[in-house]
Homo-oligomer: A and B are copies of this chain.
Amino acid sequence: MANDREVTIYDIARELNISATTVSRGLQDHPTISKKTKKKIFDLAERLGYRSNHFARSLRNQKTNTLGIIVPRLNSHFMSSVIAGIENAANEQGFSLLIAQSSESSVKEAASVRTMFDSRVDGLLVSLAVDTAELSHFEHFFKKNIPVIFFDRVMPHENSVNILIDNRQAAYNATRHLIEQGCRRIMHLTAPILQNVYKDRLKGYKEALGEYKIKFREDYVVITNLSQEAGAEVAKTILKMKTLPDGIFAANDTCAIGCMLAMKEQGIRIPEDIAFAGFNNDPVTQVIEPHLTTINYSGYEMGQVAARHLIDHVRDVSFVSSTNTIILRSELIVRASSLKKGRK
């Protein structure tokens, strides 16, 4: 029953006594093919179980209908949401996804970029590794005018679009909220300041302090890898300080939670002794007690927007430079971890 050979347009052509050209055009709904012929072609194709050969087509038109994705890690809530969003949008438009993770290493990132390039992806979606300092490894793409979109962890570049939230504003809001709750000694846990996300969050943090005439202290900014373990480590250090901080704003939820758990273990009361705010609205924020105040923004949506935009680019190269940056909405979600005043 099952013929092991692949059905090609030549098989259809032979059977119908027409040329492969006509079959090819018929399948593409080309206007110069008569309706009658088209119908015959479609019917037979259906009956024979014809499937277009992706490679032959890609080889010929230099298009793959595939998007490349490179992210620091696949297994974080945020990133997997983004990927899910991308998958959703791409799938809708008939695009496939080629995915790689850089494991937060710019070297691996460069290698993946190379692989994607070799695979001739039609476009690239990237969130940068924490130690990526410049974009030279994307030169191949820029040179060939293959669209590249950076999301979340971005870096400005004239030939590409950035999709992100207003990290400065979000951090400002979070910090300001802590201040309004009465915090005056607010620490900031973050990652190496190479990336926009951390740079801008730091900026927002400073800005809020400044607005309330709170002096910025260098030693109140702690640089870590933002893992849960790192959060626990930081807690130890903090607990040794002469004067404890009364608020902590972490650049991600995971780290905030690591820190909270360690502190609770040492009898620190949250938010009475120290109030907490995180970033990302990871599901764990609603599991920890007290629930963690955080910045919410949808990874799923970011993925969808990024993918749709990229596909538009791919389909119409002309509109390249019209858009440069897309800012998505984000919001502060206040929960018990930071509510010193007005608690029920």
CA distance A289 to B101 in the complex (A): 33
Please indicate the chain B residues that have their CB under 8 angstroms from the CB of A77 in the complex. 75, 77
Contact indicator A74/B96 (Cβ below 8 Å): no
In the assembled complex, A144 has its CB within 8 A of some CB on chain B: yes
Contact of A100 among B2, B66, B91, B286 (CB under 8 A): B91
Within 8 A of B (CB), among A49-64: 51-56, 58-59, 64
Q: Mark A276-299, 1 if CB is under 8 A from B, else 0.
A: 000000011011110000000001
Sort chain A's interface into a size bin: 35 or more
Residues A84 and B74 in contact in the complex (CB < 8 Å), given A55-B120, A96-B115, A287-B284: yes
Please tell me if A87 contacts chain B, counting CB pairs below 8 Å: yes
User: In the bound complex, do residue A54 and residue B100 qualify as a contact, i.e. CB atoms below 8 Å apart?
Assistant: no
A81 within 8 A of B: yes
Cross-interface CB contact of A76 among B79, B80, B97, B288, cutoff 8 Å: B80
8 interchain residue pairs of minimum CB distance: A75-B80, A55-B59, A80-B80, A2-B143, A55-B58, A55-B55, A74-B84, A75-B84
Q: A54-B119, A80-B83, A87-B99 are in contact. List 12 more A-B contacts (CB 8 A).
A: A4-B144, A51-B117, A75-B77, A87-B100, A91-B100, A91-B112, A96-B98, A96-B115, A99-B99, A257-B287, A284-B284, A287-B287
